[in-house]
Amino acid sequence: MKKITGLSFAFVFILMMTACTNHSEVFNDFSLKGESTHWTGELQVHTEERYNKNDEKSTTYETSSKHTFVLEYKGELEDLKSLRHLKYKYQGTAIGGSEDQTFDTGSTDKRFVSTSSGNGAFETKNSVIEVTVEWDNQTETFTLKSTD
């Protein structure tokens, strides 16, 4: 019985402490996906929003986001043994990135990943991301969208 009373007290104490806080957080995780004839793309996004009530008149709002862009060749790795140049870019309303790679002996991977993070504006799961891939005198463009 003492054990149950102690656990009940701890639960009520934690509940009271969280009810009195002037801080709230919102976390969102989602992916945007798309493909072209030769490539697939995915943007994995993690966002955090924090609201802090400083006093009765002042509230601060902070945001941060982390995103990982994955570009993958749909064909066989053998097809990329003669690859000499790969350039890709992705752009949304709030985030974007690009890579430009040169290969002396072709690519040893068919998956290319870039990661970044920042504060301020961020993409939502309703965002549309434009992707352009250029490789050895070929170009393809496609969009990434929510699959939900």
pLDDT single digits (tens) 60-116: 888 888 999 999 999 999 999 999 999 999 999 999 999 999 999 999 999 999 999
Q: Cα torsion at 90, 104, 78, 129 (round to 10°)?
A: 0
CA-nearest of 37, 44, 68 to 141 is 37
The pLDDT confidence band at residue 141, using thresholds 50, 70 and 90, is very high
Give the whole-angstrom CA distance, residue 86 versus residue 43: 19
- Average pLDDT, integer, range 21-39: 88
Query: Can you state the percent helix, strand and coil of the chain, rounding each to 5?
Result: 15, 55, 30
Which ranges constitute the DSSP H helices of the chain? 2-19
pLDDT at 12: 47
Q: Per-residue confidence at 21, pLDDT binned at 50, 70, 90?
A: low
State mean pLDDT over 128-140: 96
Query: CB within 8 A of 72, min separation 6: which ones?
Result: 39, 40, 41, 110, 111, 112
Classify the C-alpha dihedral 66-133-89-108 as positive or negative. Answer: positive
Q: Whole-angstrom Cα distance, residue 30 to residue 69?
A: 12
Q: Is the whole model's pTM more than 0.95, yes or no?
A: no
Check residue 17 and give its pLDDT.
45
Instruction: Locate the domains of the chain by residue range.
Output: 22-146
Distance CA 104, CA 37 (A): 25
